[in-house]
Amino acid sequence: KQEVTQIPAALSVPEGENLVLNCSFTDSAIYNLQWFRQDPGKGLTSLLLIQSSQREQTSGRLNASLDKSSGRSTLYIAASQPGDSATYLCAVIYGGATNKLIFGTGTLLAVQP
Amino acid sequence: EAGVAQSPRYKIIEKRQSVAFWCNPISGHATLYWYQQILGQGPKLLIQFQNNGVVDDSQLPKDRFSAERLKGVDSTLKIQPAKLEDSAVYLCASSSGSGGYNEQFFGPGTRLTVL
């Protein structure tokens, strides 16, 4: 069974701190891995997409890494800000015809001013 | 470019009632997805359409859920009759195709509460 797990489920940090969110998946034969942000009452916003041939992607203060052999990905947020407070979801795609995203349970991040 | 539109944004119903959700994908997007997100969980795919044909509905509870995408554009998701455990956010997403990976763009969701 293809499962995606995220640790921790919730995290509270003071403003300015660097932090790491973790994502693990059971089947290493992934096609892509994607990190999303979800704000209350809103849909999902894509943050970073890592293709299976890549090891990391960067966008501004965000850096996502991918280690297929160990079934893990991390999302690193540098110099956190209160506006980063949201739920962060990782999702994997195993290819095939359906393009189906399999999501983790998410990490709820609170950045305290 | 307009995003994925969904309505209503919120809905409260009694159990055993019926409810319908509507989604309008990004113009030109051939693939449309409906996800169910229960509180504290990640979204789970219910059904995927390619144009007006169903690609994957393996996790759709077909005894009570139905979905259609007439003319390959808008889509409706219906629940009849609703159960307490159907309380969730229903997310619609669209992408330009399903071959290889085509990024999915999500709407704001419809929050359903079943009392």
Report CB contact under 8 Å: B101, A103: no
Neighbours of B57 (CB within 10 A): 17
Q: Within an 8 Å CB–CB cutoff, is residue A94 touching chain B? A: no
From A97, A101, A105, residue closest to B104, measured CB to CB: A101
Average pLDDT estimate for B36-47: 94
| Proportion of chain B above pLDDT 70, given as a percent | 95
Best to test chain B binding among A31, A44, A108 (most B CBs inside 10 Å): A44
pLDDT of residue B5: 96
pLDDT of residue A18: 97
pLDDT beyond 80 at A54: yes
Closest CA to B34 of B73, B89, B115, B96: B89
Output the CA–CA distances (angstroms, integers) from residue B44 to A49, A100, A110, B59, B93, in the order listed. Answer: 19, 9, 24, 8, 12
Output the CA–CA distances (angstroms, integers) from residue B7 to A45, B42, B44, B69, in the order listed. Answer: 19, 21, 19, 15
CA angle B19, B24, B25 (to 5 degrees): 130
From A42, A93, A98, residue closest to B108, measured CB to CB: A42
Average pLDDT estimate for B32-59: 93
Average pLDDT estimate for B79-83: 97
